[in-house]
Amino acid sequence: MPRFMSLIRIDEQAAAGFEPDPGFDERVTALFEEITKAGVMLETAGLTPTAQGTRVHWSGGELSHTDGPFTETKEVVGGYAILQCKDKAEALEWASRFLQVHPESWTVTCEVRAIDEA
Protein backbone atom coordinates (compact mmCIF):
# COMPACT_ATOMS: atom_id res chain seq x y z
CA MET A 1 0.00 0.00 0.00
CA PRO A 2 1.33 3.45 -0.84
CA ARG A 3 2.47 5.84 1.85
CA PHE A 4 1.69 9.55 1.94
CA MET A 5 3.12 12.44 3.90
CA SER A 6 0.77 15.13 5.04
CA LEU A 7 2.47 18.41 5.87
CA ILE A 8 0.48 20.70 8.13
CA ARG A 9 1.15 24.28 7.11
CA ILE A 10 0.37 27.17 9.45
CA ASP A 11 1.01 30.88 9.72
CA GLU A 12 3.24 30.57 12.78
CA GLN A 13 2.72 34.15 13.96
CA ALA A 14 -1.08 33.95 13.68
CA ALA A 15 -1.14 30.47 15.24
CA ALA A 16 0.51 31.81 18.39
CA GLY A 17 -2.75 33.62 19.16
CA PHE A 18 -5.08 30.72 18.34
CA GLU A 19 -7.07 29.36 21.24
CA PRO A 20 -8.64 25.93 20.76
CA ASP A 21 -12.27 25.54 21.71
CA PRO A 22 -13.10 23.29 24.69
CA GLY A 23 -13.68 20.14 22.58
CA PHE A 24 -10.62 20.44 20.32
CA ASP A 25 -8.30 18.08 22.22
CA GLU A 26 -11.01 15.44 22.48
CA ARG A 27 -11.81 15.64 18.74
CA VAL A 28 -8.14 15.31 17.76
CA THR A 29 -7.61 12.42 20.18
CA ALA A 30 -10.68 10.58 18.87
CA LEU A 31 -9.60 11.04 15.24
CA PHE A 32 -6.04 9.89 15.99
CA GLU A 33 -7.39 6.80 17.76
CA GLU A 34 -9.64 6.02 14.78
CA ILE A 35 -6.92 6.52 12.16
CA THR A 36 -4.44 4.45 14.20
CA LYS A 37 -6.92 1.59 14.70
CA ALA A 38 -7.61 1.66 10.95
CA GLY A 39 -3.89 0.97 10.40
CA VAL A 40 -3.47 4.20 8.42
CA MET A 41 -1.43 6.39 10.78
CA LEU A 42 2.19 5.29 10.82
CA GLU A 43 3.65 8.37 12.51
CA THR A 44 2.67 11.93 13.41
CA ALA A 45 4.18 14.83 15.33
CA GLY A 46 4.07 18.57 15.71
CA LEU A 47 7.21 20.59 15.15
CA THR A 48 8.84 23.15 17.43
CA PRO A 49 8.61 26.82 16.41
CA THR A 50 10.95 28.09 13.69
CA ALA A 51 12.68 30.20 16.35
CA GLN A 52 14.24 26.93 17.52
CA GLY A 53 15.19 25.75 14.01
CA THR A 54 18.13 26.25 11.68
CA ARG A 55 18.11 26.22 7.88
CA VAL A 56 21.11 24.74 6.10
CA HIS A 57 21.54 26.05 2.56
CA TRP A 58 23.82 24.80 -0.24
CA SER A 59 24.59 27.18 -3.10
CA GLY A 60 27.60 27.67 -5.34
CA GLY A 61 29.54 25.00 -3.49
CA GLU A 62 29.10 26.80 -0.17
CA LEU A 63 27.10 25.86 2.93
CA SER A 64 25.40 28.46 5.06
CA HIS A 65 23.31 28.21 8.22
CA THR A 66 20.50 30.53 9.25
CA ASP A 67 18.99 30.31 12.71
CA GLY A 68 15.28 30.91 13.11
CA PRO A 69 12.87 32.46 13.38
CA PHE A 70 12.38 32.75 9.64
CA THR A 71 10.37 35.96 9.49
CA GLU A 72 10.38 36.12 5.68
CA THR A 73 8.32 32.94 5.61
CA LYS A 74 4.56 33.43 5.91
CA GLU A 75 3.60 29.75 6.08
CA VAL A 76 5.65 27.04 7.80
CA VAL A 77 5.33 23.31 8.36
CA GLY A 78 3.95 22.98 11.88
CA GLY A 79 3.56 19.19 11.89
CA TYR A 80 3.40 16.10 9.75
CA ALA A 81 1.90 12.64 9.48
CA ILE A 82 2.92 9.55 7.56
CA LEU A 83 -0.15 7.68 6.35
CA GLN A 84 -0.45 4.31 4.63
CA CYS A 85 -3.56 4.39 2.47
CA LYS A 86 -5.00 2.40 -0.42
CA ASP A 87 -4.79 5.49 -2.65
CA LYS A 88 -4.50 9.27 -2.70
CA ALA A 89 -8.26 9.69 -2.34
CA GLU A 90 -8.16 7.93 1.03
CA ALA A 91 -5.19 10.05 2.15
CA LEU A 92 -7.09 13.19 1.18
CA GLU A 93 -10.15 12.00 3.09
CA TRP A 94 -8.12 11.58 6.30
CA ALA A 95 -6.41 14.95 5.76
CA SER A 96 -9.81 16.61 5.30
CA ARG A 97 -11.14 15.02 8.46
CA PHE A 98 -8.06 16.21 10.37
CA LEU A 99 -8.57 19.80 9.22
CA GLN A 100 -12.28 19.70 10.07
CA VAL A 101 -11.62 19.02 13.78
CA HIS A 102 -9.96 22.44 14.07
CA PRO A 103 -11.91 25.52 15.17
CA GLU A 104 -13.49 27.44 12.28
CA SER A 105 -11.53 30.57 13.20
CA TRP A 106 -8.18 28.84 12.48
CA THR A 107 -6.47 28.74 9.10
CA VAL A 108 -4.63 25.46 8.54
CA THR A 109 -3.47 23.90 5.27
CA CYS A 110 -2.56 20.27 4.73
CA GLU A 111 -0.35 19.33 1.80
CA VAL A 112 -0.64 15.63 0.91
CA ARG A 113 2.13 14.05 -1.15
CA ALA A 114 2.90 10.47 -2.06
CA ILE A 115 6.18 9.13 -0.74
CA ASP A 116 8.42 8.09 -3.63
CA GLU A 117 9.05 4.40 -2.97
CA ALA A 118 11.25 3.92 -6.08
For the domain that residue 12 is a member of, what is the CATH number? Answer: 3.30.70.1060
Mean pLDDT of the chain: 92
Residue 51 contacts residue 69 (beta carbons within 8 Å) = yes
* Average of per-residue pLDDT across 84-93: 98
75 within a domain of the structure (yes/no)? yes
Structural domain contains residue 61: no
In a domain, 81, yes or no: yes
Position 75 pLDDT exceeds 90: no
Is residue 17 pLDDT above 90, yes or no?
Answer: no
Report the pLDDT value the prediction gives residue 20, as an integer from 0 to 100: 78
Q: Quote the pLDDT of residue 21.
A: 85
Provide the pLDDT for residue 15.
73
Provide the number of structural domains found in the chain.
1
CA distances from 23 to 44, 105, 107 (A): 20, 14, 18
* Residue 59 counted as domain residue: no
Tell whether 62 is covered by a domain: no
Q: Per the domain annotation, does 60 fall within a domain?
A: no
What is the distance between the alpha carbons of residues 113 and 118, in angstroms, rounded to a whole number? 14
0.75 surpassed by pTM: yes
Residue 25 lies in a domain: yes
Which domain, by its residues, includes 104?
3-53+67-114
- C-alpha to C-alpha distance for 20 and 87, rounded to whole angstroms: 31
